[in-house]
A and B are shown apart, each in its own frame.
Chain A
Amino acid sequence: MNGVLEHLSQGFGVAFTPLNLLVAAIGSFFGTIVGVLPGLGPINGVAMLIPVAFAMNLPPETALILLAAVYVGAEYGGRITSILINVPGEAASVMTTLDGYPLARQGLGSVALSLSAWASFFGSLVAFFGIVIFAPLLARWALAFGPAEYFVLMVFAFCCLTGLLGSEPVKGVLAAMIGLAISTVGVDANSGVYRFAFDSPNLSDGIDFVVVVIALFAISEMLQMLEHVVGGLSVKVPKSGRKLFNFAEFRFTLPSVVRSSLTGFGLGVLPGAGASVASAIAYANEKRITEQRDPDAKFGRGDMRGLTAPESANNASATGSFIPMLTLGVPGSGTTAVMMGALTLYNITPGPVLFDAQPQLVWGLIASLLVANVMLLIMNVPMVRVFASILSVPPWLLVPGIVCVSIIGVYSINATRFDLLLVAGIGLVGYFLRKAHMPMAPLILGVVLGNLMEQNLRRALAISDGDVVILFSSAVSVAFWVLSLGVILLPPLYRRWKKRSLLPEIAE
């Protein structure tokens, strides 16, 4: 316990330096804007800022604080658009539209905004304490992992990310393979052999992670936006009416906030289940529990509990998803995968060793998560009008801006024309992959984890002199294999079972 307090005070020491406070505030503000804009989510915001942060020579902990603030900021921003115009600002706030927009129609828009800001904050707070308690324990446990355990753990992470994709896990597997294939381009670190470089000097160092991220999450996104050109949206934030929720509403929603925060945190820690899954499950859960007890529940027609449940869950999940990345070095969501890629730019490999080797980085980041959330809570109540006005910026100004910042970011890494052309090319491929409903998160996870996965596999087989049995020899790796199989097999079995149990009812 003393250790925790010591680490936390070290972390807050890092978080409270003027530069890091400034960066957290800028990140929170920018993240909220990214969240407010429909079509742009945390992953796009983080992707655009990584090269910029790197090019500015920010120290690694400061860069990570910036990216983390953008991530949590986007989770706050998404709800504003959901409540005011019934369009989710980002994927995780789809559920927020269900009860948030009806509340706004009833003239309670400002109350809904402040109440959901509080719910978001509470979710993050729960997840913050979760990180402080569980992350060091998990890191200590993972220290004993050998290369074989690591390899199987990464297999498990891929299974989680693709097994939860519903009806088409095969596309998730394919996406992961494409990502892994991209990671093998360039010189092989162990043998010095060039792989898939096609004698091009530009490819001999491999395809930069930043190029792939910007291409998939900025360029292809912009191409897709052209399918339906829409004008700027004008949004009115209600001027009249009270701004803050009252004590009765606070007490009324508190149980749902607490329950959903815990649900969201648990799902966030699991690799693969991101914030959008968490908010959907929390909403469904809350609806079921509440409608059993309370006949007056009006979920879908403006129930405040239906507003607070997804909001606390998605923030708790976003904050909780830092745990697998920091402690195991295996990101739990697309956005944390992108962040882990950012760390590899600094030659830092996240994992259990990080807690001992770079405590200022880990605990500075954890403390900054709390700092950013406090800033966001403070920003989000009085400044809602400012954020909502972002929606009226026309796309003909916004899109070129995004393209320009993205290209600046890519150019700043190697300053070559080749990289800029590569971004355009991969962006076009990414657009076609999106059209084919390929999930992007496993792909980016493949790019980020590819080298680590291959190195650990080769190291494990070097230890056993080529005997594959080593991958199944320890209790930990067997457990991860079993879990991987479970994640892949259970969802389709469950769907089949559910279908079968429904069939007799339909037949009658």
Chain B
Amino acid sequence: MNNRILGIAALALAAMMIWQGHDLQAPFSYEPLGPRAFPLLIAAVMALCGLRLAIRGGGQAPANPPGANTRIAAMFGVIVGYALVFQWAGFIIATALMTLLVGRLFGGGWVGPAIGGVAGSVLLFVLFDRVLDVVLPVGLLGAWL
């Protein structure tokens, strides 16, 4: 990661905003400034910042220690998976699995995260769903809960 990549990403985002926003038009307008001006103003300033960063470069971030990138990718995968099965599998099963996998990523082995996952997910389900009235999905365990 360095300033040049950041700058180019900002330019791309600004270009996308201008492309998507240049023909925004209100069918009836009572005001001089329609829905288009503000997003385009933002995109213009963003493009200027991006240009400056891309041209001047520098700001190279130090590389991650070996293995870190794999762990981060794995963690991202677990969070996406958690999001995908959250409703279908239900809170308790999804959270127990997520705890096991994330716990392993953070160096917890098998036993600790497994026990922590099952106990923690049941505990949090009771706390939020039953005590605090924050409704959580029951999913596969629906018949028993």
Contact = CB atoms under 8 A, between A and B. Distances in A.
B107 interface: yes
Interface stretch (A64-72, A169-177, A233-241, A295-303): A169-177
B32 A462 contact: yes
B116 A397 contact: yes
Interface in B100-127: 102-109, 112-113, 116-117, 120-121, 124
B93 interface: no
Given A56-B134, A227-B65, A191 B34 contact: yes
Interface string B131-145: 011111100000000
A127 to B, nearest CB: 32
Given A184-B38, A196-B20, A407-B83, A177 B134 contact: no
Interface in B61-106: 61, 64-65, 68, 71-72, 75-76, 79-80, 82-84, 86-87, 91, 95, 98-99, 102-106
Contact of A400 (B28, B29, B59, B103): B103
A170 B102 contact: no
Q: Specify which of A52, A227, A415 lies most central, judged by the most chain B CB atoms within 10 Å of its CB.
A: A227
A397 B103 contact: yes
B134 A417 contact: no
A66 to B, nearest CB: 12
Interface SS of A by simple majority: helix
Contact of B82 (A55, A170, A407, A457): A407
A399 B106 contact: yes
A432 B5 CA distance: 11
A216 to B, nearest CB: 14
A57 B1 CA distance: 42
Contacts of B102: 396, 399-400, 403
A178 B47 CA distance: 11
Contacts of A428: 76
Given A190-B26, A223-B76, A396-B104, A170 B43 contact: no
A442 to B, nearest CB: 12
Contacts of B136: 408, 411
B29 to A, nearest CB: 7
Contacts of B82: 403, 407, 420
A462 B33 contact: yes
Given A52-B134, A395-B106, A190 B72 contact: no
B85 to A, nearest CB: 9
Nearest to A409: B134
Interface string B39-58: 10011011001101100000
B65 A226 contact: no
A191 B35 contact: yes
Interface residues of B, number: 74
A231 interface: yes
B107 A436 contact: no
Contacts of B86: 407, 411, 417, 420
Contacts of B59: 168, 436-437
Contacts of B15: none
Nearest to B104: A396
A168 B2 CA distance: 13
A462 B38 CA distance: 14
Contact of B106 (A229, A436, A465): A229
A169 to B, nearest CB: 10
Given A52-B134, A228-B65, A396-B106, A170 B52 contact: yes
Contacts of B43: 181
A174 B39 contact: no
A57 B133 contact: yes
Interface string A423-456: 1100110011001111000000000000001100
B112 A396 contact: yes
Given A56-B132, A196-B17, A397 B112 contact: yes
A260 B19 CA distance: 51
Given A395-B106, A407-B82, A438-B6, A466 B1 contact: no
17 contacts: A57-B133, A181-B43, A193-B27, A195-B39, A196-B39, A223-B72, A227-B72, A229-B105, A394-B112, A400-B116, A401-B99, A404-B98, A404-B120, A421-B83, A432-B1, A435-B61, A462-B30
Interface of B: 1-3, 5-6, 10, 13, 17, 20-21, 24-35, 38-39, 42-43, 45-46, 49-50, 52-53, 59, 61, 64-65, 68, 71-72, 75-76, 79-80, 82-84, 86-87, 91, 95, 98-99, 102-109, 112-113, 116-117, 120-121, 124, 128, 132-137
Given A226-B71, A412-B134, A432-B1, 20 more contacts: A55-B132, A56-B132, A188-B26, A191-B26, A191-B34, A192-B27, A195-B21, A222-B75, A223-B75, A226-B75, A396-B107, A397-B103, A399-B102, A400-B102, A411-B86, A417-B83, A423-B79, A427-B76, A435-B61, A458-B38
3 closest cross-chain pairs (CB), A and B = A396-B108, A466-B32, A191-B26
Interface of A: 52, 55-57, 168, 170-171, 173-174, 177-178, 180-181, 184, 188, 190-193, 195-196, 219, 222-223, 225-229, 231, 394-397, 399-401, 403-405, 407-408, 411-412, 415, 417, 420-421, 423-424, 427-428, 431-432, 435-438, 453-454, 457-458, 461-462, 465-466
